[in-house]
Amino acid sequence: MAELSLVGISHRGAALEVRERVALDPDEAAELARDLAGDEGEAVCLSTCNRTELYVAGPGAEERAAGALSDVDGALYRRSDDEAARHLFRVAAGLDSRVRGETEILGQVRAAYALGTPGPLLDRLFREALRVGRKVRAQAPVGDPAASAASAAAVLAERVLGDLSDRQVLLIGAGEIGEATAGRLVARGARVAFVANRGEERRARVARRLAAEPLALGEIPQALAEADVVVASTNSRSFLVSRDDVEQALAARERRPLLLIDLAVPRDLDPEIGTLPYAFLYDVDDLDEAVGTGSVEGAAARAEAIVAEEAERFRAWQASRGVVPAIASLRARAEEIRLGELQRSGRRLADLSAEERRAVEALTVQIVNKLLHDPTVRLKEAAAGADGATYADAVRHLFGLQGPGET
């Protein structure tokens, strides 16, 4: 039975309209992790525009995770133990993203870890994944070091509209992705004219930073007539801009094209907008095709090699967990015998000075450590292969071990 399980859905096997059915905002991800973990398990929920993945450990956790994603059961994939670890390492390294090598995913993995309910296994897994992600970026960066959905959106805007100088941007959503995209567009000469956001304080702060006009969500239709680029990236569960909104705006634009980029999952912009003349609508699944993002094969191969090596290290560590109770019991039994023999020799040692007693204590500890060194090393080595459980059972049988955790 798997100790670690992954149940998920991603852009590799599911279209956007399928993925958005199980997309989770941060509060939902944290609540689901708590529910999946229960009293005895562990869970971390990673939900981005490209994927919703549930990493779980504990009795019955995998089936509960699959149940939580039952709405998209036909598109689910499952991984266990070392395959689940390798998958997460690839995700953190940006190797499984639609925009390959993108930099935002590492922060999303970190946020999922912070919101999750990890125990010893998932804590180690996610700390290792973050380390692997940083290592790949330092030693074998794949693609553009600044690769992200935000940078791809800015490149797309320039390709569709040409020179972005003096082009006006309507930003719908004042979160990290929205701000990052705005920064990329401004760097190419565009001007953020409007910032629309549900939270008044946030939209005012971001609008002030970008020298833009803050808008409530209900004011978006009026701003569409003036904007050249619309970028949407909220956590809304319903469309914030309808086909009718855009159609009315286009009537006042005298055939000026309007580019709309929807970075949200679920989507913020009605897909029917794309049927209108002079409206160019793109979503997250369109970015790589429109921009032609990719990676240098040599760098990708080096990155994959790093991931494979680190996944093997994690596999060996996870396997060693199976023999740790046997090692602990063996050492506890040896210590029990050592202390018992010293106690029985109490009368013969009574005349020893304090310094001599410390020497005897140290000597017996050294004898025990030397005797147990080779068995401990052999057990850990065996754990990395297929014989770990057999060796652990043999040790328990030979030494009559029935300590805590040993059944």
CA atoms of 8 and 252, how far apart (whole Å): 44
Residue in this structure with the two tokens 């565009």, named with its chain if needed: 190
Question: In one letter, which amino acid is 230?
Answer: V
C-beta of residue 51 within 8 angstroms of C-beta of residue 9:
yes
Query: Both ends of the chain: CA-CA distance in Å?
Result: 17
Verify cis geometry, omega within 30 degrees of 0, for the bond prior to 266: yes
Question: In one letter, which amino acid is 386?
Answer: A
C-beta of residue 227 within 8 angstroms of C-beta of residue 215:
no
List 45's β-bridge partners, or say none.
54
> Angle CA(137)–CA(143)–CA(148) in degrees, nearest 5?
80
Nearest Cα neighbor of 282 from 250, 260, 258 is: 260
CA atoms of 29 and 72, how far apart (whole Å): 17
Instruction: Please confirm, yes or no, whether 45 is among the known catalytic residues.
Output: no
List 54's β-bridge partners, or say none.
7, 45
C-beta of residue 239 within 8 angstroms of C-beta of residue 220:
no
Backbone angles phi, psi at 51, to 5 degrees: -160, 155
Dihedral of CA atoms 119, 97, 63, 264 in degrees, nearest 10, equals 100
Burial of 342 (0-12, 13-18, 19+ CB in 10 A): middle
Catalytic residue, candidates 23, 49, 76, 230? 49
Question: In one letter, which amino acid is 236?
Answer: S
CA atoms of 22 and 53, how far apart (whole Å): 10
C-beta of residue 284 within 8 angstroms of C-beta of residue 265:
yes
DSSP letters, 6-19, are EEEEETTTS-HHHH
Catalytic positions are 49
